[in-house]
Chain A
Amino acid sequence: DAGVTQSPTHLIKTRGQQVTLRCSPKSGHDTVSWYQQALGQGPQFIFQYYEEEERQRGNFPDRFSGHQFPNYSSELNVNALLLGDSALYLCASSRRMITQYFGPGTRLLVL
């Protein structure tokens, strides 16, 4: 049984560019949450998707947007990248927003 998968594992972008990160949930899960983890900090909640709708959102600007597809996979989009967006981006999946299981993360470096 595959766990949560994320792609890519690493990427490098420059300021002002846009990036799309992808997440496939664990089998049987229908909810996807995204977190940002800056170096030395705990993960910070970005938003959560259930039934293809954003259900909750953390304190992140509108440059951060997402989407959930009918197969429950999800994308995180970040526009107009800033240096401060450099972080580990984590996806977590769950069934009906209960226990969340995390993927390995995508490490984004903005230069």
Chain B
Amino acid sequence: DAKTTQPPSMDCAEGRAANLPCNHSTISGNEYVYWYRQIHSQGPQYIIHGLKNNETNEMASLIITEDRKSSTLILPHATLRDTAVYYCIVPKNAGGTSYGKLTFGQGTILTVHP
């Protein structure tokens, strides 16, 4: 998997936007950027993924730079329930549209304050 670098921790005030950065400078042209989060003692939750265009769903937005070497996950209105470890992952393309294992780094611990 392409190596990703994330800050170890971030804080955010409730109701404000949380912007979580990720560097993935060794990403290949056909590799996607995935974001998951894990709330304490629960299974990781899929948030969003993208290739080169910005993506948005009901949970978050993903902004990928034009050179694809970095991305930012945006939680537009953070709540206390968004406190979690956020993982940015670039899984190796196992061929065609198939992806294999997910390699989890240390992630970013996001703490949302009242």
Contact = CB atoms under 8 A, between A and B. Distances in A.
B99 A98 contact: yes
Interface stretch (B10-18, B22-30, B71-79, B102-110): B102-110
Interface string A3-38: 010000000000000000000000000000101000
Given A42-B104, A45-B101, A45-B102, A97 B45 contact: no
Given A90-B43, A90-B44, A99 B49 contact: yes
Given A42-B87, A42-B107, A100 B43 contact: no
The size bracket of the interface on B is 20 to 34
Interface in A34-54: 35, 42-45, 48
Contacts of A96: 97-98
A105 B105 contact: no
A63 interface: no
Interface in B82-100: 85, 87, 94, 97-100
Given A42-B106, A42-B107, A103 B43 contact: yes
B102 A43 contact: yes
B43 A102 contact: yes
Contacts of A98: 97-99
Judged by DSSP, the binding face of B is loop
B91 to A, nearest CB: 9
Given A88-B41, A99-B34, A45 B103 contact: yes
Nearest to B87: A42
A42 B105 contact: yes
A105 B43 contact: yes
B99 A97 contact: yes
The CB with the most chain A CB atoms within 10 A, among B44, B98, B105, is that of B44
Interface of B: 34, 36, 41-46, 49, 85, 87, 94, 97-107
Given A98-B97, A102-B46, 5 more contacts: A33-B101, A44-B104, A58-B101, A96-B98, A99-B49
13 contacts: A4-B43, A42-B105, A42-B106, A43-B104, A48-B101, A88-B41, A92-B43, A97-B94, A97-B99, A99-B46, A100-B46, A102-B44, A102-B46
